Structure 1
Amino acid sequence: MEAPQGSFPVTTTVVTIQTEMPVRDHIVWSLFNTIFMNWCCLGFVAFAYSVKSRDRKMVGDMTGARTYASTAKCLNVLVLVLGLLTTIIFIVIIIIRAYSS
């Protein structure tokens, strides 16, 4: 009472699991640095890399998008640190001049 072996079609199911994290392009951070803390035009360069990262992400090139996003993040950190150091040094100079006179 067994069915012949070749009588039923064989079906396969393919399950695609996406394990990669989405690429963050840091465009808002780059825009902030471009407008408010554009130290030696590094904020604008970070913004350009963020736009390139977003373009690569829209095309589907996740490796290129990650590369551009990483560069944009490094530039944004550099701009932020330089901007904060400049602000702190400026405030210290003003305080020193105010108390020395």
Structure 2
Amino acid sequence: MDNATYCYSTDYTPLTTGKGGRKAAHTAIHMGAGSDKVPQDYLVWSLCNFLYVNFCCLGFFALLYSIKARDQKTLGNLREARENSEKAKWYNILASGWNCLVPLMIGAVVVLLVLYMRSSEGSLPSLFGEEGFQRFIKHFSQ
């Protein structure tokens, strides 16, 4: 657009004090109290828990509540979104705890088996059966 054809209104409000001596205009935005804060939906965390181990469908439930929280947040129903967000958070905490606990337990069993196999009385065939289990327990209880 060329400057010769551009028309602007002569009635304008400057942002700073100018030659006219008028004060600058300002706008205040009320953000609301802390309780009106938009809740998180924990969707990425829920997806990770859903795709990994997912014991007793905890990750699936977390994903469902995360999607519900996001939908309610989009609709503007913050109370319902906050409730679903809390449920998603707790399901994610439970699923993450389980997802960390299982590999630790498997690792502990593997370490105990390796230590037992390296001992003088340990061998794989002697581990099976009631007698082998009793020897295994007795070996580590000393």
| Category of TM-score, reference length = shorter chain | 0.7 to 0.9
Q: Separation in 1 of the partners of 2:61 and 2:72? A: 17
What is the Cα deviation at residue 36 of structure 1?
A: 1.2
**Amino acid across the alignment from 1:90:** I
Q: Could you tell me how far 1:17 is from its partner in structure 2? A: 3.4
Greater helix proportion: 1
Aligned alpha-carbon RMSD (Å): 1.7
Aligned-residue offset at 1:89: 0.6
State the 1:15 CA deviation.
Answer: 6.0
Picking from 82, 103, 121, the partner of 1:87 is 103
**What are the ranges of 5 or more consecutive residues in structure 1 without an aligned counterpart?**
1-13
Note the 1:1-101 alignment, pairs <5 A. 16-19=30-33, 20-101=36-117
Structure 1 residues 98, 55: CA separation in 2 closer, same or farther (over 3 Å shift)?
same
Does the 8 Å CA contact 2:52/2:99 hold for their aligned counterparts? Answer: no
> Identity of counterpart residues, as a percentage?
31
Matches of 2:73 and 2:62, distance apart in 1:
16
Query: Structure 1, residues 30-80: CA drift from partner, whole Å, max 9, x if none?
Result: 000000131111101100000000000000000000000000000000011
Is this contact kept in 2: 1:49–1:68, CA < 8 A? yes
What secondary structure sits across from 1:17 in the alignment?
Answer: coil
Query: Which consecutive unaligned segments of at least 5 residues does structure 2 have?
Result: 1-27, 118-142
In structure 2, C-alpha distance between the alignment counterparts of 1:58 and 1:98, rounded to whole Å: 54
Given the two structures, how large is their TM-score scaled by the length of structure 2?
0.59
Higher relative contact order, chain-length normalized (CA < 8 Å, sep 6+): 1
Equivalences, count? 89
Whose Rg is larger?
2
**Mapped contact 1:26–1:69 kept (Cα < 8 A):** yes
